[in-house]
């Protein structure tokens, strides 16, 4: 990973921060993408303290705002001509329905649509890499997920797990459709399940609600460093140089749900997503 440029979204805590630290230890130049400047600065200090020989840079972006994503992409392109690895790690879990700045249901908006736009905007930088890699952090929750075409933003009947599972299914469908589009290039796209990690995912970002429950359950979870192992493997290992369109768990290819393997569903989601974020 020496001198390779890596971008990690949601890098201020948990798996994202652990991924940043490990890749920096291996010599990568890591761009930490964080929504909060304050939390980002604290995470940057920690990454610089533990990151070893690599370089670490902080950039701010709100994946719940299409405007912020476009502004970030322009800033990144001005600083970096090449992006070797893009790790779409950021994620939200909302106990009550919330909306992004653009009116999307927050889980679908941040977990899928935000990363969909970001990836497409930075695709040329990834293609300039000798062997570009795009890594989407999904979840085993995709197996109970469906794309609710009649109401994808869940305005009528919201459920936290319903929304989260939909967004995680979308991550895999996006990965598979992207891998098809990248066939014949030097860029790969893969997704993964990090495992049950003790992070701040279920904690309300504004009120802190849910923090006590997470603290109580922490002994039963993987550590962020353990959760980051598959992301780091997909970013760094030569074993997956030519592997694309797959879903990994514990650094191995594993099966996905029938819906996640539906090519027609993946193409439908791609077309819908293009319209939602203004790329069509």
β-strand partners of 57: 31
SS3 118: helix
Give the span between the Cα atoms of 106 and 91, in whole angstroms: 10
Q: How buried is residue 77: exposed, middle or buried, by Cβ count under 10 Å (0-12/13-18/19+)?
A: middle
Instruction: Give the C-alpha distances (Å, rounded to integers) separating 214 from 133, 193, 221.
Output: 32, 19, 10
Report yes or no: 62 and 71 within 8 Å, Cβ to Cβ.
no
Distances (CA, A) of 183 to 122, 147, 248: 17, 25, 19
Q: Which two tokens stand for residue 25?
A: 């230890």
27: left (phi over 0), alpha (psi -120 to 50) or beta: left
155 Cα distance to chain centroid: 24
Contact 11, 34 (CB under 8 A): yes
- What is the Cα–Cα distance from 265 to 270, expressed in whole angstroms? 9
Pairwise CA distance, residues 122 & 117, whole Å:
9
Q: Which residue has the tokens 């798996």?
A: 15
Of 163, 142, 167, 155, residue with least CA distance to 261: 142
Which residues are marked as active site?
A: 164
């Amino acid at each position: 990973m020496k001198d390779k440029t890596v971008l990690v979204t949601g890098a201020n805590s948990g798996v994202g921060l652990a991924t940043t630290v490990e890749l920096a230890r291996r010599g990568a130049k890591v761009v930490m993408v964080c929504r909060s400047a304050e939390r980002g600065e604290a995470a940057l200090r920690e990454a610089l303290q533990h990151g070893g020989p690599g370089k670490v840079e902080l950039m701010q972006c709100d994946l719940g705002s299409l405007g912020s994503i476009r502004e970030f992409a322009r800033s990144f392109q001005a600083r970096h001509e090449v992006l070797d690895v893009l790790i779409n790690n950021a994620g939200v879990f909302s106990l009550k329905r919330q909306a992004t700045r653009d009116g999307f249901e927050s889980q679908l908006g941040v977990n899928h649509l935000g990363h969909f736009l970001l990836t497409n905007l930075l695709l040329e930088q990834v293609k300039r890499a000798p062997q570009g890699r795009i890594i989407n952090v999904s979840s085993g929750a995709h197996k109970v997920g469906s794309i609710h075409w009649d109401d994808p933003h869940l305005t009528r009947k919201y459920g936290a797990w319903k929304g989260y599972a939909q967004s995680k299914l979308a991550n895999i469908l996006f990965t598979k459709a992207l891998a098809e589009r990248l066939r014949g290039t030097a860029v790969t796209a893969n997704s993964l399940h990090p495992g049950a990690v003790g992070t701040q995912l279920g904690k309300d970002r504004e009120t802190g609600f849910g923090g006590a429950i997470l603290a109580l359950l922490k002994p039963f979870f993987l550590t962020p460093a353990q959760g980051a192992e598959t992301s780091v493997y997909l970013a760094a290992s030569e074993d997956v140089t030519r592997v694309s369109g797959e879903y990994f768990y514990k650094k191995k290819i594993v099966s996905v749900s029938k819906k996640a393997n539906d090519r027609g569903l993946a193409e439908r989601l791609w077309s819908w997503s293009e319209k939602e974020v203004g790329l069509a």
